[in-house]
Amino acid sequence: MKKYNVCIVGGGSTYTLGFLKSFARMQEEFPLNKLVLFDIDGERQKPIGQYGEIMFKERYPELDFSYTTDPAEAYKDMDFIFMQMRAGGLH
């Protein structure tokens, strides 16, 4: 079965944790080769990315997981791009 490359746009959202857990749980139904989180706010994304690093090391060690603020890196060679964005950062 083909393994997919997936990017999650809005990777700094706390809702991203649900995506990550689902991907770990659905390894047989939706196998991944690469998963990249992308967000324009690196500081917000960092703890989510670190959580993913730990979880995937334990539950999906063959997955190529990363997070970035660089759109060129995030979108390169992707099969699917999930977008979860909302207007935010307003005072």
84 within domain boundaries: no
State pTM to two decimals. 0.91
CATH number assigned to the domain comprising residue 62: 3.40.50.720
The answer to whether residue 58 sits within a structural domain is yes
The 3 state secondary structure assigned to the chain is: CCCEEEEEECCCCCCHHHHHHHHHHCCCCCCEEEEEEECCCHHHHHHHHHHHHHHHHHHCCCCEEEEECCHHHHHCCCCEEEECCCCCCCC
- Residue 60 vs residue 85, higher pLDDT: 60
pLDDT per position as a tens digit, 18-65:
999 999 999 999 999 999 999 999 999 999 999 999 999 999 999 999
The total of structural domains in the chain comes to 1
Domain ranges, residue 20: 4-77
| pLDDT computed for residue 1 by the predictor | 85
In-domain check, residue 89 = no
pLDDT at 63: 98
